[in-house]
Amino acid sequence: MNTVALKIPKRRSENSAISKLSKKIFDSNEGIFRGFRFGQDLDEIISQERFKVFEKEKEYTGVSFTNTKMETIDILYFKNVFNKLDKIQVDVFMNTEKSANDLFDAFYFQIFEKHGFPIPIKDGYCWNHEFETKISLTKVENQIEQGLLLVFEK
pTM over 0.95: no
Sign of the Cα torsion 23, 117, 139, 151 reads negative
* 144 class by beta-carbon count within 10 Å (0-12 exposed, 13-18 middle, 19+ buried): exposed
Q: Beta-strand (E) ranges in 1-154? A: 52-56, 60-66, 72-79, 85-94, 119-121, 124-127, 134-141, 146-153
| Between 101 and 7, the higher pLDDT residue | 101
Q: In the predicted model, is pLDDT for residue 154 greater than 80?
A: yes
**pLDDT tens-digit series, residues 30-86:** 889 999 999 999 999 999 999 999 999 999 999 999 999 999 999 999 999 999 999
pLDDT of residue 5: 44
Query: Could you give the angle at which helices 17-26 and 97-115 cross, rounded to 10 degrees?
Result: 50
What is the distance between the alpha carbons of residues 105 and 86, in angstroms, rounded to a whole number?
26
Phi, psi of 5 (to 5 degrees): -80, -10
pLDDT of residue 131: 78
* Domain spans of the chain, in order of start: 3-153
